[in-house]
């Protein structure tokens, strides 16, 4: 009992000590837990997907850029007589294309659309009667096919006969020729003539006289010259480089269209064309309205990202 | 006299202290309770990586044309994907027997990662889907990657003919133009 009695004074302080110690330990553990929790939360934040969906926006744009032209060109090939009908249908087809393409983005709460869409006017000129001379609708031999065209594509002339005989390159200027006058009066021209065999001569913008090009092996048949692709009867002829040395806008004319017969077809980025029939497929030569290119803003708007890119979609972008 | 009451007080204090300690430990365990399969912070890296891999795989497949090839790898007479089981018309153990399927197998098959591939498209104004690979129900931490494939009326099937026929799984969503349908390839990837 002496022990108990002796320890009585010391025991009087132990209760407080225990309480304080327990509280201190508990506070320390709670603080530790909070710290641990914070670090876990920080790691969560750090590894959370920070991708704003930019790759989806680019994927939408790529899909539009890579596929829309095919939809538009199909309408161009439908030979409309009226430009407003063509443009209405191109707009309808484009809207449907975007509706189908953007569907998966819209399902995830994203606005994916095309806005400020403008259709650039173009005209396709066609002569598909191989026995007809390359004159205008009223038979004029020297005439302008397209005026102020910012671009020309798919320009193919198939000369089928009746070529003027020319003995020397200098006389090429008396033969059937395609004359392209750029801005600043630089002229690129291409002549097809007969010099004991069919010959092609080209004059670039910086040159003063034409040069014979692509002889030998090219003319097993009547020359089918693709002026914009640079081929003769399907064979590459690098010397034919459309409008080399000139700058757009181009005025495209024929000279001595009465000295040859043939077919041709070209698409020019202008609505101002020469004396031809149409619009619509009729007696050659005729014109048809086409959409030369589509300029539009690809818009992709999600809660994290607003993306807008202006793209021009035309032949070759698909 | 005082010593006789202090015994209870000590006991109570000890209980309170013990409860505090226990409470702290329980709270700490709650904050960090993760299992290897739970969709939580600890495997977020894995999910991010799988998602990136799936997108990379689809990007490569789209660029080299194998994605489109897999979409049109269709058996017309059997109305199912080429090489799939006649009963279900889909694959359940691995990817389809084409380049896209082989890429899927090489990327995920050896890594103990399961994947579902579903094709979604427009059918008469509603969203329809055609499963290509069905390995089961994804877990909570599955990630998804999608890409679109544009089909035209003249897009050829690998088995001959074009997509414009009645036995293809997707209908012509644009009868007035060359566009046929836009197929969304959706890959769901999860760890097993």
pLDDT score, position B88: 83
pLDDT score, position A3: 53
B38 to chain A, any CB pair closer than 8 A? The answer is no
The tokens 């390839």 sit on which residue? Answer: B185
Give the β-pairing of A261-268 and B143-152.
unpaired
**Residue B38: pLDDT over 90:** no
Residue A265's closest CA among A164, A185, A176, A152? A152
- The H-assigned helical ranges of A48-163 are 54-76, 83-106
Beta-carbon separation of B16 and A22 below 8 A: yes
Beta-carbon separation of B28 and A32 below 8 A: yes
Beta-carbon separation of A40 and B31 below 8 A: yes
Query: Residues of chain A with pLDDT > 90: what percent?
Result: 33
Q: Which DSSP symbol is given to A171?
A: G
What is the distance in angstroms between the Cα of B106 and the nearest Cα belonging to chain A?
A: 24
What is the distance in angstroms between the Cα of A48 and the nearest Cα belonging to chain B?
A: 7
B46 to chain A, any CB pair closer than 8 A? The answer is no
Of B14, B32, B152, the CB nearest to A70: B152
Residue of B nearest to A104 (CA): B184
**Residue B30: pLDDT over 80:** no
What is the distance in angstroms between the Cα of B162 and the nearest Cα belonging to chain A?
A: 17
pLDDT score, position A235: 84
Size of interface A-B (CB pairs under 8 A): 115
> What residues of B are in contact with residue A48 (Cβ under 8 Å)?
44
Structure tokens at A195: 């010099």
Residue A94's closest CA among A124, A61, A64? A64
pLDDT score, position B1: 45
Please give the model's pTM, rounded to 2 decimal places: 0.77
**Residue B81: pLDDT over 70:** yes
Question: For residue A306, what are the CA distances in angstroms to A56, A57, A103, A113?
Answer: 12, 9, 18, 12
Beta-carbon separation of B147 and A59 below 8 A: yes
**Residue A90: pLDDT over 90:** yes
Q: Is A79 left (phi over 0), alpha (psi -120 to 50) or beta?
A: left
Residue of A nearest to B184 (CA): A104
Interface predicted TM-score (ipTM): 0.74
**Which of B34, B150, B185, B186 to probe by mutation at the A interface, max A CB count within 10 Å?**
B150
What is d(CA A123, CA A83) in angstroms, rounded to the nearest whole number?
A: 10
**Which of B182, B183, B185 to probe by mutation at the A interface, max A CB count within 10 Å?**
B182
A20 to chain B, any CB pair closer than 8 A? The answer is no
Of A4, A12, A40, the CB nearest to B32: A40
**Residue A79: pLDDT over 70:** yes
Q: What is the mean pLDDT of chain B?
A: 85
B141 to chain A, any CB pair closer than 8 A? The answer is no
Residue of A nearest to B46 (CA): A47
Contacts for A226-235 with beta carbons within 8 Å, 24 or more apart?
A226/A155, A226/A156, A227/A152, A227/A155, A227/A156, A227/A157, A227/A178, A227/A190, A227/A266, A228/A152, A228/A153, A228/A154, A228/A155, A228/A156, A228/A266, A229/A156, A232/A200
Calculate ∠ Cα B135-B52-B133, nearest 5°: 20
Residue of B nearest to A18 (CA): B13
**Residue B130: pLDDT over 70:** yes
Q: What is the mean pLDDT of chain A?
A: 85
- For residues A44 and A105, the model is more confident at A105
Sequence-distant (≥ 6) Cβ neighbours of residue A238 within 8 angstroms: A230
| Pair A112, A105: CB distance under 8 Å | yes
Q: What is the pLDDT of residues A51-78, one digit of tens each?
A: 777 888 999 999 999 999 999 999 999 8
Of B3, B148, B174, the CB nearest to A104: B148
Residue of A nearest to B9 (CA): A15
**Residue B157: pLDDT over 80:** yes
Residue B72's closest CA among B175, B189, B153? B153
């Amino acid at each position: 009992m002496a022990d108990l009695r002796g320890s009585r004074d010391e025991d009087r302080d132990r209760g407080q000590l225990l309480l304080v110690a327990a509280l201190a330990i508990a506070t320390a553990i709670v603080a530790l837990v909070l710290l641990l929790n914070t670090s876990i939360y920080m790691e969560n934040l750090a590894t959370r997907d920070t991708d704003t969906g930019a790759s989806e926006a680019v994927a939408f744009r790529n899909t539009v850029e890579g596929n829309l032209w095919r939809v538009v060109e199909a309408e161009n090939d439908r030979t409309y007589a009226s430009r407003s009908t063509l443009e209405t249908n191109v707009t309808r087809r484009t809207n449907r294309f975007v509706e189908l393409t953007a569907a998966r983005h819209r399902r995830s709460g994203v606005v994916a659309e095309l806005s400020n869409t403008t259709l650039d006017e173009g005209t396709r000129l066609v002569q598909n009667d191989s026995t007809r001379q390359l004159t205008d609708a009223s038979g004029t031999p020297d005439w302008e096919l397209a005026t102020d065209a910012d671009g020309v594509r798919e320009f193919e002339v198939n000369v089928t006969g009746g070529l003027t005989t020319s003995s020397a390159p200098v006389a090429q200027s008396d033969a059937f020729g395609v004359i392209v006058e750029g801005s600043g009066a630089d002229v690129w021209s291409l002549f097809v003539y007969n010099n004991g065999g069919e010959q092609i001569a080209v004059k670039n913008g910086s040159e003063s006289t034409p040069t014979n090009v692509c002889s030998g092996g090219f003319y097993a048949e009547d020359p089918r010259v693709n002026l914009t692709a640079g081929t003769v009867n399907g064979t590459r002829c690098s010397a034919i480089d459309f409008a080399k040395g000139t700058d757009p806008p181009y005025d495209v004319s024929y000279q001595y269209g009465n000295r040859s017969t043939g077919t041709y077809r070209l698409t020019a980025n202008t609505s101002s064309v020469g004396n031809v029939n149409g619009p619509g497929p009729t007696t050659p030569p005729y014109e048809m309205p086409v959409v030369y290119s589509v300029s539009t803003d690809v818009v992709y708007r999600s809660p994290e990202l607003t993306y807008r890119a202006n793209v021009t979609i035309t032949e070759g972008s698909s | 006299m005082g010593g006789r009451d202090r015994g209870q007080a000590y006991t109570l204090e000890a209980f309170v202290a013990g409860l505090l300690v226990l409470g702290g430990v329980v709270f700490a365990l709650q904050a960090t309770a993760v299992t290897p399969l739970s969709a939580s912070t600890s495997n977020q890296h894995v999910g991010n990586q799988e998602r990136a891999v799936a997108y990379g795989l689809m990007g490569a497949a789209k660029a080299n044309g194998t994605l489109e090839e897999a979409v049109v790898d269709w058996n017309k007479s059997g109305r199912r994907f080429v090489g799939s089981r006649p009963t279900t018309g889909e694959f359940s153990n691995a990817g389809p027997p084409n380049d896209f399927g082989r890429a899927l197998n090489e990327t995920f098959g050896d890594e103990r990662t399961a994947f579902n591939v579903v094709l979604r498209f427009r059918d008469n104004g509603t969203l329809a889907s055609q499963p290509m690979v069905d390995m089961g129900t994804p877990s909570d931490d599955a990630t998804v990657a999608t890409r679109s494939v544009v089909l035209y009326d003249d897009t050829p099937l690998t088995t001959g003919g074009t997509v414009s026929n009645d036995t293809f799984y997707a209908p012509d969503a644009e009868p007035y133009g060359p566009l046929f349908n836009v197929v969304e390839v959706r890959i769901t990837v999860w760890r097993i």
